[in-house]
Amino acid sequence: MNKYLSLSPEVEAALSAGRPVVALESTIISHGMPYPQNVETALRVEQTVRDNGAVPATIAVIGGKLKAGCNKDEIEYLGQKGQAITKASRRDLSVLLARKADGATTVTTTMIIAAMAGIQVFATGGIGGVHQGAQQTFDISADLEELAQTPVMVICAGAKSILDLGLTLEYLETKGVPVIGYGTDELPAFYTRHSGFNVDYRIDTPEELAVSFRAKTDCGLKGGMLVTNPIPEEYSMPKHIIDKAINEAIKEMDRLGIRGKQCTPFLLAKVKELTGGDSLAANIQLVLNNARLAALTAAALCQIR
C-alpha cells in the first residue's frame, strides 16, 4: 500500500469484504459552505450513503496523510478551519505530503485518492470545467483531465453553472469521457435541471450505470465516467434567475481581478448572496441526491461478478 495512504478501519474492512464504498470530497466542507452548515451537511451526506447501503469515505489530506475515511472529529476540524486549509488539486499533493500539511480535496484529488484506495464510485456536487472566457485565460479545471485518466465514476449534478457548459462538454468529448444523464437527456447545470445541452447517453437505473462502468474497466479503457444527476425538481432554481445571478457575479469577479483557484469560491459565495441563500439550500439538496444515487450504484457494482 502507498505509504501516504491511510484508510479508516471502517473503509478498510468494507473494501476487504467487497462491500460498497462511496468516496466523498472535502473541498465542499472547507471551501464550499460556511461553518457549521458545512459540517452538518457532510455528516448528513455520510448518513445518506449509509441509509442507502454503502460505506462513506470522506477524503482529505490530514497531517501529510491521504485519508480515505475521515472520522467525525476530522470532519469538524476541516469545517472549522475552512478556507485556512489548502484547496488541494493534483499539483499540490506532493508538497502537502512532504510538509505533513492538510488539504481539502477537490474532485481531482478525491478521484486520485479514491483510485489508490480501490474505491470506484464518488459522489460530489458539481465538477469544474471550462470557465467562461477560457479562450483568453486558458482557465480549465484539472477535474476534466482527471476524468480522462483516472478510473472512477463521478456522480454529480452536472458542471457548475458558472462555467461555459458547451466548451466543457466539447473538452470531455475530446478526452473520451462518457457523459451520462441519469434519467435525463439534458445536461443538468448544478442549481437547475436545465442547460440546453444534451448528454451522450441517458441511463435510468443504478444497475445499468454499474454494468456500463464495469464494461469500461473490463475493456481497459482509460479514464472515468461522468454521471450527471439532476437536482430534484422541488429544489431546482429557475434558469433565468440563476443565470442572472451568475452573470452579475462574473462581472464583479472580473472587476476585482480575481483569478485561478479563488474564482469558484468567490462565485459560489456571490451567487449565494445574490439569491438570498437559495443557492446554498439547493447545493445541499443536490449533494444529498447524488450521495443516494452513488450508494445505490456502488451496491449494484458489488453485485456484478
The model's pTM: 0.92
pLDDT score at 39: 97
- Side-chain half-sphere exposure of 78, counting CA atoms within 13 A: 36
Number of folded domains that form the chain:
2
Residue 163 sits in which domain range? Answer: 128-305
> Which residue in 290, 265, 260 sits closest to 32, CA to CA?
265
**Which of residues 69, 101, 119 is at a domain's end?**
119
Q: Which residue has the cell 472580473?
A: 254
pLDDT score at 253: 84
pLDDT 10s digits, 31-64:
888 899 999 999 999 999 999 999 999 999 999 9
Identify the CATH number of the domain in which residue 73 sits.
3.40.1790.10
- Which residues partner with 24 through β-bridges? 58, 123
At 262, which amino acid appears? Q
Contacts of 185 (CB under 8 A, 6+ apart): 198, 199, 202
pLDDT score at 162: 74
> Which residue in 164, 153, 172, 171 sits closest to 189, CA to CA?
164
**Which of residues 119, 137, 160 is at a domain's end?**
119
208 with 64, same domain: the answer is no
31 with 146, same domain: the answer is no
Q: Which residues of the chain have pLDDT under 50?
A: none
154 with 63, same domain: the answer is no
pLDDT score at 133: 75
pLDDT score at 261: 66
Catalytic machinery residues: 25, 160
pLDDT 10s digits, 186-235:
999 888 898 899 999 999 999 999 999 999 999 999 999 999 999 999 99
145 with 201, same domain: the answer is yes
86 with 163, same domain: the answer is no
56 with 175, same domain: the answer is no
146 with 291, same domain: the answer is yes
272 with 166, same domain: the answer is yes
